[in-house]
Chain A
Amino acid sequence: MSEKQKIVHSILAAFEYLVFVGCLCVGVAVSYANALEIGDSLPALTVTGEGGERISLDDYSGKVVYLDVWASWCKTCRHSLPWMDGLQRRFGSQGLQILAVNVDEDPKDAQKFLESSEVKLLVGYDPGGKIPAALRVQTMPTSYLIGRDGKLKAIHGGLNDERMKEIEKEIEELISQKGEG
Chain B
Amino acid sequence: MFKEMILILGVVFIAFSAFGCAEVQVWERGNLAKPHMAFDPDPLEKRFMQHVHESKTASSGGYGVGGGGCGCN
Contacts and interface: CB of A to CB of B under 8 A. Distances in A.
Given A103-B27, A140-B29, 11 more contacts: A13-B8, A20-B15, A31-B23, A71-B30, A74-B33, A74-B70, A74-B72, A105-B28, A105-B31, A133-B25, A137-B26
Interface string B57-73: 00000000000001111
Instruction: Classify the secondary structure of B's interface with A.
Output: loop
A71 B28 CA distance: 9
B70 A75 contact: yes
Contacts, number: 66
Given A73-B29, A73-B33, A138-B26, A12 B70 contact: no
Contacts of B73: 76
B33 A23 contact: no
A62 interface: no
B72 A141 contact: yes
Contact of A73 (B8, B11, B23, B70): B70
A64 interface: no
Contacts of B12: 16
A179 to B, nearest CB: 34
Interface string A52-78: 000000000000000001010111110
A158 B31 CA distance: 20
Nearest to B33: A73
Interface of A: 1, 5, 9, 12-13, 16, 19-20, 23-24, 27, 31, 69, 71, 73-77, 103-105, 109, 129, 132-133, 137-141, 158
Interface in B21-73: 23, 25-31, 33-34, 70-73
Interface in B1-16: 1, 4, 8, 11-12, 15
B27 A140 contact: yes
A13 B12 CA distance: 10
Contacts of B29: 73, 140
Report, nearest first, the 9 A-B pairs whose CB atoms are least far apart.
A73-B33, A103-B27, A76-B72, A132-B27, A20-B15, A140-B72, A73-B30, A74-B72, A74-B70
